Amino acid sequence: MSDGSITIGAAIVPAGATRRAVPAHGSRRAYSAYALVTPAAALMLIMLLGPLAGVIALSFTDYQLGAPHFSWIGLANYRDLFADKVFWTALRNTLAYVVIVVPGAVIAGLAIALLIQSGTSLRSLYRTIYFLPVMATLIAMAVVWEFMLHPQFGLVNGMLRGAGLPAFAWLQDRSTALYALCAIGIWQAVGFNMVLFLAGLVSIPKQLYEAAEIDGASSGWARFRLVTWPMLGPVTTFVVVISGIRSFQVFDTVHVLAKGGPSKSTEVLIHTMYTEGFEFFRSGYAAAITVVFLVFVLALTLIKSRLADRGVHYT
């Protein structure tokens, strides 16, 4: 802006030293600015944008892993993809997973955070316990879940039988497998969300609760509605988006416990991508699935930044 005004000013003044000096000075500053930006820009290109462009380019080819040649086939991969029933099943399952896991993990995380925050003792113990699933390797935990959900000697069915309820073959039954994975997904995400909510709760000024109390918000629910929930707005947006993205990425439990089965009832996007790319070596096709996946993640990120602009964040 200032550069512009200087140039305009210089144009009015009869040509002279000042006119030449000013742009020269400006461009030297611009060069050094570019020079300073270069390392970061280069890293970003190599590490982030480059691979992304590579994946998008790959999705327009028939490249197979290890193949010496490939050719451009335009949108053929996408045409195949959208005609493939497995893809639509995977997309439907992924969306169902997200729709169940995100609210579940967010609400449970918030509820646990509120409980821990309102308690007086053993806070750090509870925090650690609920955070354990986040720290533990999900593959190892998946093995534990496999035992727990075992139709015959699993803990879950044992408890159901003990209570006189019917037992299920959780992971082997088409109608329950996805929901069992959802439950594991919630279990795994709750601790992470809880920690974020706790951080948000701690940063709410105590005086706001006192003001609310004096203003007549005598019930806990009224104070939650008046202070806690709005003040947690920015954290909640973040937690929802992060939970959404992580749920879209669900893969490890699906792969270890169900392998997308029984009969594709737990087939999810990343798992389809994995099978196509690393079992059938159809890299171009897998790249097309990745692009579809990226579109969803990008949409979530856009929603988040839009909400951030709309004043969910307070100053």
Q: Using CB under 8 A as the criterion, which residues of the chain lie in contact with other proteins when the complex forms?
A: 205, 207-208, 210-219, 221-222, 225-227, 230-231, 233, 314-315
Question: Residue 254's closest CA among 272, 266, 269?
Answer: 266
Smallest distance from other proteins to CB 114, Å:
18
Q: Which of 90, 110, 91 is nearest to 102 (CA)?
A: 110
Kindly state the smallest distance separating residue 212's Cβ from other proteins, in Å: 8
- Using the minimum distance from each CB to other proteins, give the nearer residue, 41 or 199: 199
Look up residue 61 and give its DSSP letter: B
What is the closest distance, in whole angstroms, from the C-beta atom of residue 204 to other proteins in the complex?
A: 10
Q: Across-strand partners of 72?
A: 61
- With vertex at residue 299, the alpha carbon angle to CA 293 and CA 302, rounded to the nearest 5 degrees, is 145
205: left (phi over 0), alpha (psi -120 to 50) or beta: beta
Cα–Cα distance, 181 to 104 (Å, whole number): 13
Tell me the DSSP string of 96-133.
HHHHHHHHHHHHHHHHHHHHHHH--SSHHHHHHHHHHH
Residue 246 Cβ vs other proteins, minimum distance, rounded to whole Å:
27
Dig out the tokens for 13 from the structure. Answer: 């003044």
Q: Is the CB of 212 or the CB of 291 nearer to other proteins?
A: 212
Sign of the torsion formed by the C-alpha atoms of 131, 135, 138 and 143 = negative
**Least distance to other proteins from the beta carbon of 222, Å?**
7
User: Toward other proteins, which CB reaches closer, 218 or 301?
Assistant: 218
Q: Which amino acid is at 73?
A: I
Min dist. Cβ of residue 98 to other proteins (A): 25
Residue closer to other proteins by CB (options 152, 219) is 219
What is the nearest approach in angstroms of other proteins to the Cβ of residue 216? 3
Secondary structure of residue 134 in the 3-state scheme: helix
Closer to other proteins by Cβ: residue 7 or 218: 218
Buried residues in 60-84 as b, exposed as e (16+ CB within 10 A) = bbbbbeeeeeeeeeeeebbeebeee
| Nearer to other proteins among residue 226 and residue 240 (C-beta) | 226
Least gap, CB of 91 to other proteins (angstroms): 32
> Would you give the end-to-end CA distance of the chain in angstroms?
28
Residues facing residue 61 across a β-bridge? 72
In whole angstroms, what is the distance from residue 305 CA to residue 17 CA?
Answer: 47
Nearer to other proteins, 124 or 219 (CB): 219
Q: Residue 69 or residue 310: which is nearer to other proteins going by CB? A: 310
